[in-house]
Structure 1
Amino acid sequence: MNFDTICVVGLGYIGLPTATMFASRRKKVIGVDVNQHAVDTINRGEIHIVEPALDIAVHAAVKEGYLRATTRPEPADAFLVAVPTPFKKGQVEGGIPTPDLSYIQAAADSIAPVLKKGDLVILESTSPVGATEQMAAWLAEARSDLTFPQQAGDNSDIRIAHCPERVLPGHVMHELIENDRIIGGMTERCAGIARDLYAVFVRGECLLTTARTAEMAKLTENAFRDTNIAFANELSIICDKVDIDVWELIRLANRHPRVNILQPGPGVGGHCIAVDPWFIVSETPEEARLIRTAREVNDGKPEWVINKIKLAVAELLQANPDKTAKELTIACYGVAFKPDIDDLRESPALEIVKNIMNDHPGNVLVVEPNIQSLPDVLNEARKVDYETAWERAEVHVMLVDHKSFKGKEMNVSEKKVYIDLRGVW
């Protein structure tokens, strides 16, 4: 099947690179986003996010006329939905957050009027099991004049599939091309047609399955990683209590030929690992006991860090009775959810800094080289460079191991406190 025009709904960290990949293969791509600033920026040939090599590719695609952004979908041969799937704010049942599919529903409502017979619709958003079928139901409700896979199987007018992204921020442009893709169709024909679409630029293997299995595969991948990170984080808390250097311990344990313990940190962030395992737990709360425990361990790590900082401040004041808390400056290094990116989504570092800023009466300095300015939630903090923070602060907290933080030869003072959550110092 020829895909002359492709419409990508959602121009964020996944949607924009994906749209650009199709445009780079000389496909006409219509990018859709509700954010007018993002639309205007892209149409100037610029980008509103940070991702290596993306700016050059977007500039070329726009200049050559293959990529155009707008706020409303237009007719196309294939539609890719890459919108957020967060939790419903304030809705927690039995300690389990409730998935919010309203963005997917809004995307379905927006593309429904322009659908025509033969079109392909792919949900790329990481979603709870059954979300692709739910999207198909919303589309069928809006377009009773067309048939969908749940009604007509392989003979449906509209083909629907799920293809989750599996890329690493900072390496998206490479991994979109080289990584294998899991393509889950609502029918075998849907999966095969979706494979034809991704074959436009994907060099990795396209593995066909059902929509539900594809949804679960992405959740499983991230739940597996979350569980392994939880082991490292729990180990770091244990080591702190029994006075063992966790970094040395992990380094020694990993010399075993069949052991590969990950590195601990201040928690787990981002739009995938910090979110996706809860989708499994929300559907099967009685069965997903290990997955839930891992989530709780990682979600609890920021509070442990905050308490550790409070204790350090208290001990510093006790050792310096002539000083008050207001006279102490705390420097926090990194607020992104992982190294060397500008993405703050679900960042445990950001949550920790926000709590420090709210509780500490003195100055809070933030070192984050990957963003131009601090988010509004940190409006009382001050963004500075590494050297300024090192010189002025009495308490130093390493939260994110950006490359620019490593290998610096800085003088260490016995009168200051250094809390290293990433093994940099």
Structure 2
Amino acid sequence: MRDNKVVVIGLGYVGLPTAAIMANAGIEVHGVDVNPATLQVLNAGGCPIGEPEVVKLVTGALASGRLKASDTPVTSDVFIICVPTPITDEKRADVSIVRAATRTLAKYVKKGDLIILESTSPVGTTEHTVGEELAAQGFDIREDLDLCYCPERVFPGSTISEIVENDRIIGGLTPRAAARASALYARFCTGGLLETASATAEFSKLMENTYRDVNIALANVFGHIAEASGIDVNDAITLANRHPRVNVHKPGPGVGGHCIPVDPWFLIDGFPEQTGLLLQSRLINDGQPHHLWARVKRVSGAIGKVAILGAAYRGNLDDARDTPAEHLIHALKADGVGYAVHDPHVSKFRLHCGQEVPVNTDLAQTLDGADAAIIMTDHSAYRGLGPEAFAGMSGKLIADGRNLVDRCALSAAGFTVIPVGAPLSRPSGQAFLPGKEKDTVLASG
């Protein structure tokens, strides 16, 4: 069978599961990564990703002998690039890792090979970054090779089913390349295989996550309006969503992960005159942790320590990439406020500046002596928390960025709860005055 040997460059959250799925489908796969720790775990038969379904598939593929890993490519029929495409501190697209990976694999490429880029990338990256590096080795990228862009669609926590079952966009630099890549993905994907041009596929992938980012920003703006109006935004959203063509999201404490807070910047960077809406949405979503902290400051006295509940960007994951908690940490540091971070799944994470943030898995220790607590992640462990969970705090102020805690019980116990998109939950004997500033405590009559 054609294309029975594949090299996967980049063994991260996308590359490693993809490599394991292909190996379990009977394809000989050689994985490549520059991280010695990743290679050490894999070559010992383990899996560096904690998701149970991924662990099972990776360890099975390694045991079968069809998946191997090293820091150097080998000759192959197919090369798949699954490396990071971050943004710079100036919010510019950085495809240097894609370029470097292509330059490395180009030494092993021969005429007739299939090269696939899966990394989310700016429009034109397949042709003008991957293609240029291959052309520099003397290849005609349309005649000598089959070059494609086939973006991943992965939702951490459901990685395997997402890779296997989702429709896949197959973007070929030529129709021949698209047809060949489609035949490869058909061996391990059950979703639809949608062939198109590489640039259209690149744009489509960016469009998906930008659409989500803009709609989250809209929900956050609705939350701001509700807070200023004395309305619970969740009540209004429930009613609005009864319209058959409306699906408003719920507001939250910010946007994290490896896709949504990154991908819109590729379009903003490449097309600044057309993307004012996208820029404003990014600023709104990145500003949510600052907005939540500002509400805390408006109703509090002096705060020396804040307990941050949640480092992961999404509930019940151990993934803290681009976590909204980082924006909150920067806001606290700017005000000279100390903090401690709790997460039941994350043990540590690193800020973009390189600073490593320790994370405590003991909630009581994290809350001990805190003047305020701010919930940033929708972990199941935080759902329904009442007064007993926060008994060790010095203060009685909780900002609930995910609307998880037992607001009634906490209010009855003398806590002030700041819910996202809603007026404050006051202790007994206090009230808010509709239409006025909701973050100012007023004595009730």
- Determine if the TM-score, normalized by the shorter chain, exceeds 0.5: yes
Q: Hey, what does 1:211 align to over in structure 2?
A: 198
Q: Hey, what does 2:384 align to over in structure 1?
A: 407
Q: For each residue in 1:119-140, what CA deviation from the matched residue of structure 2 results, as whole angstroms up to 9, or x when unmatched?
A: 1000000011000001343333
Alpha-carbon distance in 2 for matches of 1:115, 1:107? 12
Structure 1 residue 253: Cα displacement: 2.6
Q: Hey, what does 1:41 align to over in structure 2?
A: 41
Equivalences for residues 127-166 of structure 1 within 5 A: 127-144=121-138, 146-149=139-142, 156-166=143-153
- One-letter identity of the residue aligned with 2:77: D
Q: Hey, what does 1:113 align to over in structure 2?
A: 107
Structure 1 residue 333: Cα displacement: 1.0
Alpha-carbon distance in 2 for matches of 1:379, 1:64? 37
Alpha-carbon distance in 2 for matches of 1:22, 1:415? 53
Q: For each residue in 1:198-247, what CA deviation from the matched residue of structure 2 results, as whole angstroms up to 9, or x when unmatched?
A: 11100001000000110011011111111110001111122222332223
Equivalences for residues 46-125 of structure 1 within 5 A: 46-89=46-89, 92=90, 97-125=91-119
**1:253 counterpart = 2:230:** no
**1:396 counterpart = 2:373:** yes
With over 3 angstroms needed to count, the CA separation of the structure-2 counterparts of 1:384 and 1:21, relative to structure 1, is closer
- One-letter identity of the residue aligned with 1:353: I
- One-letter identity of the residue aligned with 1:183: I
With over 3 angstroms needed to count, the CA separation of the structure-2 counterparts of 1:407 and 1:260, relative to structure 1, is same
With over 3 angstroms needed to count, the CA separation of the structure-2 counterparts of 1:114 and 1:382, relative to structure 1, is closer
From 343, 353, 367, the equivalent of 1:368 is 343
Alpha-carbon distance in 1 for matches of 2:356, 2:96? 30
From 302, 312, 323, the equivalent of 1:347 is 323
Q: For each residue in 1:223-281, what CA deviation from the matched residue of structure 2 results, as whole angstroms up to 9, or x when unmatched?
A: 11111100011111222223322233323332333321111111111121111112112
Q: Is the 8 A contact 1:39 1:69 kept in 2?
A: yes
From 182, 185, 201, the equivalent of 1:195 is 182
Q: Hey, what does 2:437 align to over in structure 1?
A: none
TM-align CA RMSD? 2.2
Q: Is the 8 A contact 1:162 1:184 kept in 2?
A: yes
- One-letter identity of the residue aligned with 2:397: V
- One-letter identity of the residue aligned with 2:96: S
Q: Hey, what does 2:8 align to over in structure 1?
A: 8
Secondary structure at the counterpart of residue 299 of structure 1: helix
**1:179 counterpart = 2:166:** yes
Secondary structure at the counterpart of residue 316 of structure 1: coil
Alpha-carbon distance in 2 for matches of 1:117, 1:67? 24
Q: Is the 8 A contact 2:349 2:357 kept in 1?
A: no
- One-letter identity of the residue aligned with 2:113: D
Secondary structure at the counterpart of residue 113 of structure 1: coil
Q: Is the 8 A contact 1:32 1:73 kept in 2?
A: yes
- One-letter identity of the residue aligned with 2:11: L
- One-letter identity of the residue aligned with 1:340: N
Structure 1 residue 285: Cα displacement: 1.4
Deviates more, 1:406-415 or 1:8-17: 406-415
Question: Which structure has more helix as a fraction of its residues?
Answer: 1
Q: For each residue in 1:54-87, what CA deviation from the matched residue of structure 2 results, as whole angstroms up to 9, or x when unmatched?
A: 1111111111111111111111110100111112
Structure 1 residue 88: Cα displacement: 2.7
Deviates more, 1:380-389 or 1:100-109: 380-389
Q: Percent identity?
A: 39
Alpha-carbon distance in 2 for matches of 1:251, 1:102? 45
Structure 1 residue 28: Cα displacement: 1.1
Q: Hey, what does 1:424 align to over in structure 2?
A: 404
- One-letter identity of the residue aligned with 2:26: R
- One-letter identity of the residue aligned with 1:292: L
Alpha-carbon distance in 2 for matches of 1:179, 1:351? 32
Q: Hey, what does 1:322 align to over in structure 2?
A: none
- One-letter identity of the residue aligned with 1:13: Y
Structure 1 residue 391: Cα displacement: 5.8
Alpha-carbon distance in 1 for matches of 2:349, 2:87? 24
With over 3 angstroms needed to count, the CA separation of the structure-2 counterparts of 1:408 and 1:301, relative to structure 1, is closer
TM-score by length of 2: 0.84
TM-score by length of 1: 0.88
Q: Is the 8 A contact 2:348 2:356 kept in 1?
A: no
Alpha-carbon distance in 2 for matches of 1:375, 1:211? 34
Secondary structure at the counterpart of residue 183 of structure 1: strand
- One-letter identity of the residue aligned with 1:330: V
Unaligned runs of 5+ in 2: 406-445
Structure 1 residue 43: Cα displacement: 1.4
**1:316 counterpart = 2:301:** yes
From 214, 239, 243, the equivalent of 1:227 is 214
